[in-house]
Amino acid sequence: MKTPPAYALWVPVVFYLALIFWLSSISHPPELPSGVTDKEAHAALYLGLGAVLVRALAGGFARPVTVRIAVLAIVVSGLYGVTDEIHQYFVPPRQMDAADALADTVGASVAACGLYAWSIIRGRHAL
């Protein structure tokens, strides 16, 4: 199983982090679709971050996902969520919200745990 080059694994992560930073920089972000809460949007956005982080850390989606990789993706995503909330504090009229950071971590956790479970189902996992 050939591992993709590092840039192919990490450029999507960098772009995803930049997207989140850009969205947090908007003073008046667009309204969410009807029925979608702010916390659901945070979870969905960070679900994507968790997925690209797992992919990069594992060396591609075809590679085994370990518990260590899943936990590291969750921790990195959660910490980025906290820094994102701090960033929003400096963007008027946005504000920090610990519940948003929690929703970010939950979204990343769903992705990381889901990809770990998928790795087990495929028979490509290690502890």
Residue 20 maps to a domain: no
Q: pLDDT tens for residues 69-95?
A: 999 999 999 999 999 999 999 999 999
Residue 114 maps to a domain: yes
Q: What is the largest CA-CA distance in the chain?
A: 49
Residue 30 maps to a domain: no
Residue 12 maps to a domain: no
pTM for this entry:
0.94
* pLDDT class of 127 with cuts at 50, 70, 90: low
Q: pLDDT tens for residues 21-35?
A: 999 999 999 999 999
Separation in Å, CA 108 to CA 4, 50, 57, 71, 76:
23, 4, 14, 10, 9
Residue 76 maps to a domain: yes
Instruction: Quote the domain boundaries for residue 116.
Output: 37-127
Is residue 58 pLDDT above 80, yes or no?
yes
| Percent of the chain scoring above 90 in pLDDT | 91
Residue 7 maps to a domain: no
Residue 15 maps to a domain: no
Counted domains in the chain: 1
